[in-house]
């Protein structure tokens, strides 16, 4: 496997399902996982959550570059912790399996007064997967996210939709972005290892998911 392959999971906002999508892709592809910046909830961080959800012993959950105590925008949370995040200091983990990277919030979340998550994506040079959750306003947020990435020529692999299926919403997003739907997540009552494995198996059985096959080759 090409260990230089990197996938960056971004969302159209906060709490749209980035961690669940990350776990599904780690389980499916056998890539390592890395959350560069964790703001708040350190006892049950996204890294710890992914580790609990996957059923693989051949991947590594890499330590966060920065752990911040408060569940706030990183530029504020880092100041409160007397820390400073600089893009040039963020070191990307070396892997043997490829790397799934989970962002913090959306693209324009600031990591300091000058740099944002989208700048981190540019530095990493990863394929981006956009997670869109169905709610009133999600079309606008989804397409704004896509346009921001497009304006910087950042490659986007496609969309993952989270929530009860809304074909009209999905169609307009897919048509206007000219990007594929990679897979969908339903409204699950509980997210468990079994649920993650179920989605992984469904993706692997899909005959039309050329991107997954390419990333596994």
> In sequence order, which residues have a C-beta less than 8 Å from that of residue 9 and are 6 or more positions away?
18, 21, 22, 25, 100, 101, 102, 103, 128, 129, 131
Own/partner pairs for 145-150, CB < 8 Å, 24+ apart? 145/10, 145/11, 145/12, 145/106, 145/107, 146/173, 146/176, 146/177, 146/179, 148/107, 148/108, 148/118, 149/107, 149/118, 149/121
Helix axes 18-29, 46-53, angle to 10 degrees: 40
Catalytic center residues: 35
């Amino acid at each position: 496997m090409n260990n230089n392959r990197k996938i960056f999971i971004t969302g159209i906002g906060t709490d749209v399902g980035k961690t669940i999508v990350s776990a599904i892709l780690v389980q499916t592809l056998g890539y390592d996982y890395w959350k560069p910046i964790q703001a708040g909830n350190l006892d049950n961080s996204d890294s710890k959550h992914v580790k609990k959800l996957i059923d693989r012993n051949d991947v590594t959950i890499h330590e966060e570059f920065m752990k911040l105590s408060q569940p706030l925008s990183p530029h504020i949370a880092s100041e409160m912790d007397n820390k400073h995040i600089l893009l040039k200091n963020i070191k990307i983990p070396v892997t043997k399996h490829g790397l799934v990277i989970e962002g913090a919030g959306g693209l324009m979340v600031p990591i300091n007064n000058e740099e944002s998550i989208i700048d981190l994506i540019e530095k990493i040079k990863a394929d981006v997967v956009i997670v869109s959750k169905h709610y009133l306003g999600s079309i606008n947020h989804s397409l704004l996210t896509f346009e921001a990435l497009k304006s910087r020529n950042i490659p986007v692999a496609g969309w993952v939709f989270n929530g009860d299926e809304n074909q009209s919403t999905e169609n307009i997003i897919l048509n206007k972005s000219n990007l594929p739907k990679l897979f969908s997540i339903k409204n699950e009552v509980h997210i468990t290892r079994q649920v993650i494995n179920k989605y992984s198996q469904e993706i692997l059985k899909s005959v039309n998911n050329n991107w997954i096959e390419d990333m596994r080759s």
